[in-house]
């Protein structure tokens, strides 16, 4: 990123920053320190009038408008107004007009039109109130009464004035920009007097280069603001922060330790005091700070300390209160059934569950037994995914069926064009019972299926409002005009069909170039489409060419048909976004629009889900497009426990998939249990003449079955000690073993390969399979052995397994199943 130079005289000043307008009630009791150009009796009078406002919002707007007025006086280099008599001068009337011009100017602020008008009215009311209290105030020529926005020509009153560069530099905020183009402020002004403007600009440039690659980063803003305040505070002490210290590898470590101390005291001295998770939250921030500091060092703004960044104690950031949400179970809850999580008392005596992660549609506790995890990952995850996918598929199907009904109602008879007077009568539902059908025919034949009736006067809606004619809520779906929920349903379904479709990538995907040439969603043959999307955080170049088929292909093909009239209207009227795949009408037959990088799709999708709570059930409060996509990736992982397959499904690299999508409980289960069984699998032929083989392989309960198979089907290999090792070598082994106690132990296991054991395992698999197909509930332990046998069978029958004797033994066992013996034991 090129360096940001000091702003010229007519740069985007945007002085309306949090630094200027963050004031407390205590500040307004003695506000003299807030104002530099309004002082004395003039300040006393205007503050008294501003505080007379009735509502809190009115008081806030008046105070803020006065602060902005004072800032404007500073940048245009106007002398201070110290007497109430100066309010009655002709010059003060001119200054009011200039202030309205400043509010209208983009060089002074970056507020919305409504906010600018609100502050203009608040400012006007302050001086109107002073006149009503018999104070002499020269009026401005512009009066912001019922105006919806400030006239653009007013901006020239401010833009044509030469500004004071020093005041501009002091008031101009240091803005960071996210990848979506959203600007947010970092308060670096306290750094300027102590480290200089040149250093502050380089520091700011480095922060901007970090911010532009990601979404709005509150931690980055906190880092810059806190460090600037730290520099200001340290200047009053002996250990002042200087640029030379920040570039000395030996001294910068001391600076960073002092910085961490300052940060801790800042948190500790807050009104609520130190909380239970204060240290842990600080630790997470310091971990982020170390990354930011490395980026600053890469830009040669600072240097890296010789002994490394003082990151504190990493384990603090892994306590449940910080890493994940926590759930409390009420004692009087009606649900006293079994829980998949372990309940523990917290220090206050309340009963809470273990930490739960919400990375997926299915909440995953951090700690689960083998059986509970089996139930979760082999049943619940698939069930929840299918529920969400079916809901989205049904919504998209209903949208298409409504359109088909509309086509049938409109019919194929030739359309007779009528005069406007005749049309008004024909399309009026109070005069014509078939007005809905006539309206469908009218919009299809005279407007090609769509027109923005809030902007264009039509015989169906002479005053452009719905109450004039047929209900827009009825006719919109029949015309096939999609709304925002329809668009989100298709986006969500595509994310469930292929994990490379993220909501941001789909929301901004374009299918036409500026010359109306089709560049995306092109036919690939055999009822398939190739849809190209850009994922900015992808592990490769970011572009993914995804070939879709089946229901996904059908939904996209239908979507292109439904949006064709809307797209044609947008292109004809030069409305932004017509090239996008996902466009929709904000209201039925209303304004056409599209998603962009700043659209809050997640919030709208939650409301969409709540309106379908009957279908979604327990998923209502959890479901989101990103979680549907994450669940798709986990399902890909669970097929063969392959992290590469999951990364391919999500379009990420393996590290990202592990860190952001794979819950710890599932990974631990995979690493400690399934890797132990299958990656280090040794299958040996068991002793045939064992007493337990004589017993009849019939069990009353799943627990009996589980204990039998754990005892006889799986046995850990005996560790053989090396007798030739010296005493010192053995001592080293003991030390290494002690250090490794906290790590998961991956042991080799032997599977007893006998006809009876294989018959038992395959019979359990067959019994569970029949139960699942018939809709019966299966015990968690039986489901566990079902999944175990499936993978054991895959391993033995694969080309990687060479023992032909065991292959033959397994095949013979498959021909001697006795699944009826286990039908009772496997049931829940």
- Whether 92 and 122 have beta carbons less than 8 Å apart is answered as no
**Cα(497)–Cα(550) distance, integer angstroms:** 10
Give the DSSP letter string of 591-660.
-EEE--TT--HHHHHHHHHHTTHHHHGGGTTT--HHHHHHHHHHHHHHHHT-HHHHHHHHTS-HHHIIII
Predicted confidence at residue 15, as pLDDT, reads 52
Predicted confidence at residue 742, as pLDDT, reads 40
* DSSP β-ladder status, 343-345 and 681-685: unpaired
| 445 or 374, which is more confident | 445
Neighbours of 597 (CB within 10 A): 14
| 758 or 331, which is more confident | 758
DSSP state of 575: -
**Cα(490)–Cα(682) distance, integer angstroms:** 48
**Cα(392)–Cα(491) distance, integer angstroms:** 9
- Give the DSSP H or E segment for 229: helix 218-234
**Cα(741)–Cα(735) distance, integer angstroms:** 10
Predicted confidence at residue 625, as pLDDT, reads 93
- Whether 661 and 650 have beta carbons less than 8 Å apart is answered as yes
**Cα(256)–Cα(246) distance, integer angstroms:** 9
- Per-residue pLDDT, averaged over 573-601, amounts to 89
Share of the chain above pLDDT 70, in %: 75
The CA–CA distances, whole Å, from 113 to 73, 82, 766 equal 22, 32, 69
- Per-residue pLDDT, averaged over 85-94, amounts to 93
| 221 or 599, which is more confident | 221
* DSSP β-ladder status, 174-177 and 183-186: antiparallel
Predicted confidence at residue 33, as pLDDT, reads 86
Beta bridge partners of 345: 351
Half-sphere exposure of 376 (CA within 13 A, CB side): 25
- 779: pLDDT strictly greater than 80: yes
Residues 6 or more apart whose Cβ sits within 8 Å of residue 663: 357, 359, 360, 364, 366, 634
pLDDT band at 203 (very low <50, low <70, confident <90, very high): very high
| 448 or 146, which is more confident | 448
The answer for 312, left when phi > 0, alpha when psi is -120 to 50, beta otherwise, is: left
CA 590 to chain centre: 29
Predicted confidence at residue 754, as pLDDT, reads 73
Going by C-alpha positions, the residue among 763, 747, 748 that lies closest to residue 813 is 763
Predicted confidence at residue 682, as pLDDT, reads 46
- Using DSSP's 3-state secondary structure scheme, residue 356 falls into strand
Largest CA distance in the chain: 114
Predicted confidence at residue 752, as pLDDT, reads 66
Give the DSSP letter string of 433-468.
TTHHHHHHHHHHHHSTT---TTTS-BTTBTTSSGGG
Predicted confidence at residue 302, as pLDDT, reads 93
pLDDT band at 744 (very low <50, low <70, confident <90, very high): very low
Predicted confidence at residue 485, as pLDDT, reads 95
Taken in order 162, 166, 167, 172, is the CA torsion positive or negative? positive
Burial class (CB in 10 A: 0-12, 13-18, 19+), 201: middle
- Using DSSP's 3-state secondary structure scheme, residue 538 falls into coil
Range name among 29-38, 222-231, 791-800 with the lowest pLDDT average: 791-800
pLDDT band at 600 (very low <50, low <70, confident <90, very high): confident
Give the DSSP letter string of 62-98.
HHHHHHHHHHHHHHTTPPPB-SGGGGGSHHHHHHHHH
- Whether 575 and 494 have beta carbons less than 8 Å apart is answered as no
- Per-residue pLDDT, averaged over 373-386, amounts to 80
Range name among 646-660, 712-726, 798-812 with the lowest pLDDT average: 712-726
- Give the DSSP H or E segment for 753: strand 749-753
- Whether 88 and 148 have beta carbons less than 8 Å apart is answered as no
- Per-residue pLDDT, averaged over 656-666, amounts to 70
- Whether 21 and 65 have beta carbons less than 8 Å apart is answered as no
621's tokens = 């409060």
- Whether 498 and 552 have beta carbons less than 8 Å apart is answered as yes
Residues 6 or more apart whose Cβ sits within 8 Å of residue 112: none
Predicted confidence at residue 29, as pLDDT, reads 82
Predicted confidence at residue 651, as pLDDT, reads 81
Predicted confidence at residue 351, as pLDDT, reads 35
| 712 or 328, which is more confident | 712
- Per-residue pLDDT, averaged over 76-105, amounts to 93
Predicted confidence at residue 320, as pLDDT, reads 47
| Strands (DSSP E) found in 71-218 | 174-177, 183-186
- Whether 788 and 677 have beta carbons less than 8 Å apart is answered as yes
Range name among 61-75, 148-162, 577-591, 679-693 with the lowest pLDDT average: 679-693
**Cα(174)–Cα(189) distance, integer angstroms:** 8
Phi, psi of 342, rounded to the nearest 5 degrees: -85, 130
528's tokens = 């398939």
Predicted confidence at residue 743, as pLDDT, reads 41
Predicted confidence at residue 348, as pLDDT, reads 39
- Whether 109 and 15 have beta carbons less than 8 Å apart is answered as yes
pLDDT for 451-508, tens place per residue?
999 888 898 898 888 787 899 999 999 999 999 999 999 999 999 999 889 888 898 8
CA 516 to chain centre: 32
- Whether 571 and 495 have beta carbons less than 8 Å apart is answered as no
- Whether 199 and 300 have beta carbons less than 8 Å apart is answered as no
Predicted confidence at residue 356, as pLDDT, reads 67
- Whether 624 and 606 have beta carbons less than 8 Å apart is answered as yes
Report field, pTM of the whole predicted structure over 0.75: no
* DSSP β-ladder status, 749-753 and 522-523: unpaired
**Cα(398)–Cα(404) distance, integer angstroms:** 10
**Cα(89)–Cα(558) distance, integer angstroms:** 68
Going by C-alpha positions, the residue among 480, 392, 405, 485 that lies closest to residue 444 is 480
Predicted confidence at residue 551, as pLDDT, reads 94
- Using DSSP's 3-state secondary structure scheme, residue 330 falls into coil
Predicted confidence at residue 10, as pLDDT, reads 38
Burial class (CB in 10 A: 0-12, 13-18, 19+), 492: buried
| 175 or 554, which is more confident | 554
The CA–CA distances, whole Å, from 132 to 126, 128, 590, 694 equal 10, 6, 45, 106
**Cα(141)–Cα(90) distance, integer angstroms:** 11
Predicted confidence at residue 804, as pLDDT, reads 78
At CB < 8 A and 24+ separation, what contacts does 84-89 make? Answer: 84/41, 84/42, 84/44, 84/45, 84/135, 85/136, 86/42, 87/42, 87/45, 87/127, 87/130, 87/135, 87/136, 87/137, 87/138, 88/135, 88/136, 88/137, 88/138, 89/138
| 584 or 327, which is more confident | 584
- Per-residue pLDDT, averaged over 326-339, amounts to 36
Share of the chain above pLDDT 90, in %: 28
- 365: pLDDT strictly greater than 50: yes
Going by C-alpha positions, the residue among 373, 362, 371 that lies closest to residue 779 is 371
- Whether 448 and 565 have beta carbons less than 8 Å apart is answered as yes
Predicted confidence at residue 82, as pLDDT, reads 92
H-only helix segments in 381-511: 381-410, 420-426, 435-446, 472-479, 484-497, 503-507
DSSP state of 140: P
Q: Choose the most confident range, by mean pLDDT, from 151-155, 363-367, 532-536.
A: 151-155
Predicted confidence at residue 644, as pLDDT, reads 81
- Per-residue pLDDT, averaged over 554-566, amounts to 95
CA 594 to chain centre: 19
């Amino acid at each position: 990123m090129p360096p940001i130079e000091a702003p010229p005289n007519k740069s985007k000043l945007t002085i309306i920053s949090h630094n200027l307008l963050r004031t407390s009630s205590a500040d307004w009791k003695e506000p003299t320190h807030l104002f530099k150009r309004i002082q004395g009796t003039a300040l006393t009078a205007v503050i008294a009038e501003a505080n007379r406002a009735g509502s809190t919002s009115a008081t806030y707007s008046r105070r803020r408008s006065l602060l902005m007025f004072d800032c404007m006086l500073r940048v245009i280099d106007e002398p201070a107004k110290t007497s109430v008599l100066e309010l009655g001068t002709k010059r003060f009337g001119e200054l009011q007009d200039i202030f309205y011009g400043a509010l209208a100017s983009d060089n002074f602020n970056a507020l919305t039109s409504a906010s600018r008008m609100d502050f203009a009215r608040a400012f006007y009311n302050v001086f109107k109130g002073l006149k009503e209290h018999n104070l002499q105030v020269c009026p401005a020529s512009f009066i912001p009464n019922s105006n919806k926005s400030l006239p653009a020509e007013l901006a020239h009153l401010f833009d044509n004035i030469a500004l004071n560069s020093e005041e501009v530099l002091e008031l101009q905020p240091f803005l960071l920009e996210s990848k979506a183009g959203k600007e947010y402020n970092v308060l670096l002004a306290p750094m300027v007097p102590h480290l200089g403007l040149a250093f502050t600009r380089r520091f700011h440039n480095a922060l901007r280069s970090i911010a532009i690659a990601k979404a709005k980063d509150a931690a980055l803003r906190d880092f810059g603001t806190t460090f600037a305040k730290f520099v200001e505070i340290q200047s009053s002490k002996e250990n002042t922060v200087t640029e030379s210290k920040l570039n000395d590898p030996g001294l910068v470590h001391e600076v960073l330790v002092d910085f961490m101390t300052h940060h801790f005291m800042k948190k500790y001295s807050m009104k609520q005091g130190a909380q239970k998770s204060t240290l842990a939250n600080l630790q997470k921030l310091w971990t982020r700070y170390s990354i930011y500091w490395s980026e600053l060092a890469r830009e040669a703004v600072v240097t890296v300390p010789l002994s490394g960044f003082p990151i504190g104690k990493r384990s603090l950031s892994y306590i449940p209160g910080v890493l994940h949400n926590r759930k409390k179970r009420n004692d009087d809850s009606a649900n006293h059934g079994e829980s998949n999580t372990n309940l523990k008392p917290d220090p206050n005596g309340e009963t809470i569950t273990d930490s739960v992660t919400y990375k997926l549609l299915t909440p995953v506790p951090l700690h689960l037994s083998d059986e509970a995890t089996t139930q979760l990952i082999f049943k619940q995850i698939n069930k929840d995914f299918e529920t969400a996918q079916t809901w989205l598929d049904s919504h998209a199907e209903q949208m298409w069926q409504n359109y088909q009904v509309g086509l049938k109602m409109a019919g194929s008879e030739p359309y007779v064009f009528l005069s406007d007077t005749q049309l008004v009568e024909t399309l009026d539902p109070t005069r014509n019972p078939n007005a809905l059908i006539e309206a469908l025919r009218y919009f299809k034949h005279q407007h090609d299926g769509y027109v923005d009736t809030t902007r264009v006067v039509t015989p169906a809606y002479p005053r452009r409002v719905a109450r004039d004619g047929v209900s827009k809520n009825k006719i919109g779906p029949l015309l096939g005009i999609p709304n925002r929920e329809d668009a989100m349903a298709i986006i969500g379904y595509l994310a469930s069909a292929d994990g490379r479709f993220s909501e941001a990538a789909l929301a901004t995907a374009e299918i036409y170039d500026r010359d109306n040439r089709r560049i995306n969603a092109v036919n690939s043959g055999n009822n398939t489409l190739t849809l190209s999307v850009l994922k900015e955080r992808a592990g490769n170049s970011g572009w993914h060419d995804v070939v879709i088929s089946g229901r996904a292909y059908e939904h996209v093909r239908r979507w292109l048909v439904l949006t064709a009239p809307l797209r044609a209207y947008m292109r004809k009227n030069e409305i932004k976004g017509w090239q996008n795949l996902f466009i929709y009408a904000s209201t039925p037959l209303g304004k056409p629009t599209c998603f962009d990088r700043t659209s809050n799709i997640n919030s709208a999708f939650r409301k969409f889900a709540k309106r379908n709570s009957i279908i979604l059930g327990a998923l209502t409060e959890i479901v989101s497009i990103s979680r549907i996509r994450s669940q798709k990736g986990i399902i890909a992982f669970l097929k063969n426990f392959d992290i590469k397959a999951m990364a391919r499904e999500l379009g990420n690299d393996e590290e990202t998939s592990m860190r952001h999508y794979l819950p710890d409980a599932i990974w631990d289960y995979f690493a400690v249990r399934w890797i132990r069984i299958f990656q280090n699998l040794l299958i040996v032929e068991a002793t045939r003449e064992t007493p337990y083989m004589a017993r009849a392989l019939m069990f009353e309960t799943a627990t009996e079955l589980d204990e039998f198979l754990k005892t006889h089907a799986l046995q850990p290999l005996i560790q053989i000690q090396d007798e030739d090792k010296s005493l010192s070598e053995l001592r080293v082994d003991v030390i290494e073993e002690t250090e490794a106690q906290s790590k998961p132990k991956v042991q080799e296991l032997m599977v007893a390969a006998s006809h009876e054991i294989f018959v038992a395992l395959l019979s359990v698999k067959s019994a569970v399979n029949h139960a699942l197909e018939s809709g019966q509930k299966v015990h968690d332990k039986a489901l566990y052995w079902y999944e175990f046998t499936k993978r054991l069978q895959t391993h033995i029958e694969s080309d990687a397994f060479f023992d032909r004797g065991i292959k033959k033994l397994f095949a013979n066992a498959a021909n001697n199943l006795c699944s009826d013996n286990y039908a009772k034991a496997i049931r829940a």
